[in-house]
Amino acid sequence: MGRERMAAVPLGDVSAIRGLWEVRVKKHRQRQKKERERVQKSALARIEQQWHYRIHCKTLKAGELNLLHRYLERSTGTNVPHTGTDQQLEVPEQSGLRFRLEGGSLTDFPQDLQWRSYLEEVQVSRTRIRQLPDFLGRFSKLRLLQLPHNAISQLPPQIGELQQLQVLDLSFNRLSRIPPELGNCENLKRLEVTGNFCLSELPFELSSLKQLVHLDLSQNVFASVPICVLRMERLQVLDLSWNRLTDLPQDMDRLQQLLLLLLHQNRLSYLPHCLTNVLSLKTLVVSGAPLTCVPTALCRSPRIKFIRLYDNVSKVEKKEEEEKEVGGRRRWRQQEEQEEQQEEGSREKEFLEAYISSLQDRDTVPECTTKVSISCLL
């Protein structure tokens, strides 16, 4: 029995068997390749795409449809058939990879913008836009997003999909919170949220912004320095002016690359000694704060320009009187007062920038300086 079974086993050359299987594998791969080519050349995919395109065109206005046609012609190099209308939408002409829109009564982003996912810069200012569009995440190449002086009250989580974003300006809007998804924008280098007036904290997820160099949190209602800020290792410019800070954390020296620290118009009564350990610090501004204790090393250090300006007495008294009358003001004046605060903060920023730049070539800084404004009539 055992010998008969052994004789029934097929015998053959191993190389011949391997060659047979190689031929079969080669034919199988050829059949797969032909099938893929057939699917690619099939008209079903094109027909489905054309039907989706026609359905979407039915929802567009005449001008928006023409803009879509022009974009498809530029991107594909072919002539797209028009649907019988030549009316154009009054949208400012764009140049290259930049979209710019300033002023107007728009309350939403133009819908045709969703077809311009190739854009690298978007600048929209002084409109009535309240929220960013849901298709924001499609702009995978976006590097600069500037949205100052609008009415934006919230940011969509899709903002975290902008992996190439480097500059984000949300100044003078109505934000009360920042979504944690913004921490996914790891290439972000500059973040400005000036003048939102309702912003009091930042999510801890922003600690992932290791490339951030410039952070502007001025003209908000921060009562303390957010924890995530102390994790931004490459931070060079930190603006916390015009907030409600009463003290600074004792580990501020974690920011070892900090060059400029703006703390003016806060409620600080002292400065921590840890600031003297920040060897990179060049300029420190604490104007308008009721300081009673300042480390001597900060005031006398030759490497630090310690700027402490004093307002005129009449201006201070006027500001105190206005603060006392806040409770009795009516609601219809709140927007007007907010605009006045924005203008005042902007003037303060311009003045300090000019003052700091004028001190760059000086070795010392006047310890006590009365802030004045000078105007020339030519």
Q: Cα dist. 337→174, 198, 322 in Å?
A: 14, 14, 11
At 378, is the secondary structure helix, strand, or coil? coil
E strands, the chain, in order: 98-102, 121-125, 144-146, 167-169, 190-192, 214-216, 237-239, 260-262, 283-285, 305-307, 309-310, 369-370
Distance CA 30, CA 48 (A): 28
Percent of the chain clearing pLDDT 70 (strictly above): 61
Residue 38 has pLDDT above 90, yes or no: no
Structure tokens at 354: 């000019």
Highest mean pLDDT among 33-47, 159-173, 329-343 belongs to 159-173
> Is the model more confident about 182 or about 23?
182
Q: Express each pLDDT in 256-306 by its tens digit.
A: 999 999 998 899 999 999 999 999 999 999 987 788 888 888 888 888 888
Over the stretch 54-81, which tens digit does the pLDDT of each residue have? 676 766 666 666 666 665 555 444 444 4
Kindly report the average pLDDT of the chain as a whole number.
77
User: Lowest-confidence range among 23-27, 35-39, 288-292, 361-365?
Assistant: 361-365
Band (pLDDT 50/70/90 cuts) for residue 98 is: confident
pLDDT-above-90 percentage for the chain: 40
Using CA atoms, how far residue 130 sits from 28, 107, 308, in Å, is 57, 6, 38
Residue 175 has pLDDT above 90, yes or no: yes
Q: Is the dihedral of CA 307, 311, 317, 321 positive or negative?
A: negative
- Note the pLDDT of residue 51: 66
Q: How confident is the model at residue 365 (pLDDT cuts 50, 70, 90)?
A: low
Cα 278 to Cα 281: distance, rounded to the nearest angstrom: 6
Write down the pLDDT at residue 28. Answer: 79
